[in-house]
């Protein structure tokens, strides 16, 4: 709330040359009134005074404060706007920069800074207006053009972002950051070879930046060049040993190659405070993390993380914890998994994370995906006995009665959760997902064989995609009545086969010991290993992999041929 006393104190402190104290008062005032012009202008004078004093020669008398000349007012306001931006005080920064532009309307530097502030507030359209206005005044302003390129990339206008970066590099070919950022755009465009070229250009200019080595590793990994990618990730870690993102990428690659011993160890980087992992979750509990201590007679809480598929895959370890002597095993889980997890062996209590109820104290907690490391899992010791998830018989009977009668029943999933607010996960989803129409060669089998296709696709976009299919080829769709994974599992129990993109349904079918065919992107998930069409995680699973990035037609063709052979009498 605006305080007349604090405002008066700010003026007094400024007049006596105590700029830092005056600025602190004004900063607090502007938190409640970020557009207050007088306070902004005085704060600009305070910041100007602080910087002026820092550059004064020895012997300058304190209390003789530097006045801001009218010609310097816009500069002082722009500096203050940047100061607020650096402190994450975005409304104050916005109003300050707008005030600077009211003094000097056509100033590209302030327009560029305003664009940054608006972008940070996720006001992309307004940010674009400010940045393009700066470039209309000064087309060769590289910082503004670079910021526009970043904005276009964030808005997924990738072709435009690429064009901006290429324009920058046309006049500044030695700009390492622009080469690097161009590589990131090209990766999102599905052009890993071109991205590799861009990253190598960046590293030829500046080989000291670990992020660029990590990005090169990603481009190489996307091309299936594992040994080169590993070398790039290790180089990033040699430059910054605590670089959690590079450790995580190295972990995924090592696990995908079957090097579980080192892979699980690096996989723990996902939990480090420096990890750039939006879904990194630590349980809000006061007791310690389990680090391998003896569990005989102890209580342990297992906490969920990452996606549904991860939890469905690794819940197989929960019964093994009881074999280690855990006296009381508690498991927290998303509400959508509660009914299904109630059938897990060895679990003493389930705690759905639905915002209700409380979790009692335990001796330790552990993240679900850390269990393979604690059990020293190797390719040979994966606990692959299935089924380890079971559906109540009455629920299975209920759903079986709703399915088409007779014939061979095949469940279909063509897309994952797009997670549009997570750039990295959204990019993966775009590579792993197909449109429903891509399944038409499979669906046409129903015209010549006694087979019924059943949609297991959940999500708002599923129904319009089904309706876009020819009416006689649309799969039966029961998903409007599905409430959770227990319902989906009950439907799967009534099927003969599941064909799915690499989604949680692949793990659900595998955990139920149902035959499942997994359609995998070219740079497939680590858990499916490399160059094999089976998986030690699920004995009845079969992999159909892309032979080149983005080419689903070949995958569907092979799956169609396999299904036709399976259906032959």
Q: State residue 67's pLDDT score.
A: 56
Q: CA-CA distances (angstroms) from residue 80 to 19, 43, 88, 109, 319?
A: 13, 7, 12, 13, 59
Instruction: Quote the CA–CA distance of 112 and 138 in Å, as a whole number.
Output: 11
548-560 pLDDT, tens digit each: 888 999 999 999 9
Residue 210 has pLDDT above 70, yes or no: yes
For the stretch 394-413, pLDDT in tens is 999 999 999 999 999 999 99
At 1, the pLDDT band (50, 70, 90 cuts) reads low
pLDDT recorded at residue 60: 32
Region 302-312 average pLDDT: 95
Structure tokens at 548: 């080149």
- Tell me, yes or no, whether 486 and 541 share the same domain: yes
Q: What is the pLDDT of residues 234-245, one digit of tens each?
A: 999 999 999 999
Instruction: Examine the domain organization and report whether 244 and 303 are in the same domain.
Output: no
In this predicted structure, what is the pLDDT of residue 56?
45
**250: containing domain:** 156-276
Tell me how far apart the alpha carbons of residues 279 and 420 are, in angstroms, rounded to a whole number: 13
Residue 365: per-residue pLDDT: 97
pLDDT at 275: 57
Collapsing DSSP to helix, strand or coil, 299 comes out as strand
Contact 428, 417 (CB under 8 A): no
Residue 452 DSSP class? E
pLDDT exceeds cutoff 90 at 88: yes
| 421 shares a domain with 557 | yes
- C-alpha 453/C-alpha 14 separation (Å) is 76
pLDDT above 80 for 231: yes
DSSP per-residue string spanning 181-209: HHHHHHHHTT-HHHHHHHHHHHHHH-TT-
As a three-state string, the secondary structure of 384-399 is: CCCCCCCCCHHHHHHH
Dihedrals phi, psi of 279, to nearest 5 degrees:
-100, 20
pLDDT at residue 317 above 80? Answer: yes
Report the DSSP pairing between strands 516-520 and 451-455.
Answer: unpaired
Interval 34-77: pLDDT, tens? 888 888 888 888 888 888 766 544 333 333 445 555 558 899 99
- Could you tell me the CATH number of the domain that includes residue 349? 3.40.50
Say yes or no: 557 and 435 in one domain: yes
Q: Which two tokens stand for residue 514?
A: 């149902």
Question: Looking at the 3D structure of the chain, how many domains does it have?
Answer: 3
Do 523 and 478 reside in the same domain of the chain? Answer: yes
The residue out of 361, 381, 401 marking a domain boundary is 381
Lookup: tokens for 1: 């709330």
What share of the chain has pLDDT > 90, as a percent?
77
Task: Return the minimum-mean-pLDDT range out of 56-70, 141-155, 338-352.
Answer: 56-70
Of 204 and 458, which is predicted with more confidence?
A: 204
Based on the fold, state whether residues 451 and 335 are members of the same structural domain: no
CATH number, domain containing residue 459: 3.40.50.2000
Q: Would you state the pLDDT for residue 355?
A: 87
Evaluate whether 341 touches 315 at the Cβ level (below 8 Å).
yes
CA distance 282 to 414: 32
| CATH number of 217's domain | 1.25.40.10
The reply to whether 397 and 368 lie within a common domain is: no
Rounded Cα gap, residues 324 and 314, in angstroms: 17
Rounded CA gap, 509 and 489, in Å? 7
Asked if the model's pLDDT at residue 329 lies above 90, the reply is yes
Do 307 and 240 share a structural domain?
no
Q: Can you tell me the mean pLDDT for 131-138?
A: 96
Residue in the block written with tokens 């897990």: 344
Which of 339-343, 345-349, 353-357, 395-399 bottoms out in mean pLDDT, i.e. has the lowest?
A: 353-357
- Does 282 map to a domain? no
129 domain residue, yes or no? no
CA gap 272, 550 in Å, rounded: 33
Say if 232 falls within a structural domain. Answer: yes
In this prediction the pTM is: 0.84
**Residue 455 and residue 496 in one domain:** yes
242: tokens are 């605590």
Looking at 381, 412, 445, the residue that finishes a domain is: 381
- 413 sits in which H/E element: strand 408-413
Residue 442 lies in a domain: yes
Both 271 and 341 in one domain: the answer is: no
Q: Give the residue carrying structure tokens 């569990």.
A: 295
Q: Is residue 303 part of a domain?
A: yes
Same domain, 326 and 425: no
When pLDDT is averaged across residues 185-214 and rounded to a whole number, the result is 97
Residue-averaged pLDDT of the chain: 91
For the cut 60, the answer to whether the pLDDT of residue 486 exceeds it is yes
Q: How far is CA 81 from the centre of its chain?
A: 30
Could you tell me if 555 and 476 lie in one domain? yes
């Amino acid at each position: 709330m605006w305080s007349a006393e604090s405002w008066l104190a700010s003026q007094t402190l400024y007049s006596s040359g105590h700029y830092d104290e005056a600025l602190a008062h004004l900063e607090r005032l502007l938190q409640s009134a970020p557009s207050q012009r007088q306070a902004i202008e005085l704060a600009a004078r305070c910041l100007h005074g602080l910087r002026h004093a820092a550059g004064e020669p020895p012997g300058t008398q304190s209390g003789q404060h530097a006045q801001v000349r009218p010609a310097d007012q816009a500069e002082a306001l722009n500096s203050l706007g940047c100061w607020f931006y650096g402190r994450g005080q975005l409304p104050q920064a916005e109003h300050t920069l707008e005030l600077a532009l009211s003094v000097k309307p056509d100033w590209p530097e302030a327009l560029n800074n305003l664009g940054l502030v608006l972008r940070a507030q996720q006001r992309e359209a307004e940010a674009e207006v400010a940045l393009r206005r700066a470039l209309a005044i000064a087309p060769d302003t590289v910082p503004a053009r670079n910021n526009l390129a970043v904005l276009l990339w964030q808005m997924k206008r990738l072709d435009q972002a690429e064009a901006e970066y290429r324009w920058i590099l046309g006049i500044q070919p030695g700009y390492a950051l622009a080469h690097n950022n161009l590589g990131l755009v090209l990766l999102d465009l599905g052009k890993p070879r071109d991205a590799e070229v861009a990253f190598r250009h960046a590293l030829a200019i500046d080989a000291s930046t670990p992020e660029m080595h990590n990005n090169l590793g990603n481009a190489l990994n996307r091309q299936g060049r594992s040994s080169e990618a590993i070398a790039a990730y290790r180089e990033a870690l040699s430059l910054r040993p605590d670089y959690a993102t590079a450790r995580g990428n190295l972990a995924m690659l090592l696990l995908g190659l079957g090097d579980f011993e080192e892979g699980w160890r690096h996989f723990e980087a996902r939990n480090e405070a420096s990890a750039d992992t939006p879904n990194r979750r630590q349980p809000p509990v006061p007791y310690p993390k389990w680090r391998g201590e003896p569990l005989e007679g102890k209580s342990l809480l297992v906490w969920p993380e990452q996606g549904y598929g991860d939890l469905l895959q690794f819940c197989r370890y929960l019964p093994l914890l009881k074999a280690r002597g855990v006296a009381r095993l508690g498991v927290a889980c998303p509400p959508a998994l509660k009914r299904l997890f109630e059938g897990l062996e060895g679990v003493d209590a389930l705690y759905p994370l639905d915002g209700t109820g409380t979790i009692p104290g335990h001796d330790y907690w552990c993240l679900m995906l850390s269990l393979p490391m604690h059990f020293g899992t190797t390719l040979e010791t994966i606990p692959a006995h299935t089924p380890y998830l079971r559906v109540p018989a009455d629920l299975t009977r209920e759903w079986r009665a709703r399915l088409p009668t007779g014939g061979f029943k095949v469940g279909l999933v063509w897309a994952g959760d797009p997670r549009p607010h997570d750039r990295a996960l959204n990019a993966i989803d775009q590579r792993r997902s197909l449109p429903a129409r891509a399944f038409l060669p499979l669906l046409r089998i129903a015209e010549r064989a006694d087979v019924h296709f059943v949609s297991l696709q959940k999500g708002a976009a599923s129904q319009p995609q089904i309706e876009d299919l020819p009416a006689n080829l649309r799969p039966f769709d029961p998903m409007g009545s599905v409430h959770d994974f227990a319902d989906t599992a009950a439907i799967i129990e009534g099927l003969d086969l599941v064909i799915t993109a690499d989604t949680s349904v692949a793990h659900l079918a595998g955990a139920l010991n149902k035959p499942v065919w997994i359609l995998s992107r070219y740079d497939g998930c680590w858990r499916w290993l490399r160059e094999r069409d089976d998986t030690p995680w699920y004995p009845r699973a079969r992999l159909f992999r892309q032979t080149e990035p983005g080419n689903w037609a070949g995958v569907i063709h092979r799956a169609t041929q396999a299904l036709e052979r399976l259906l032959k009498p």
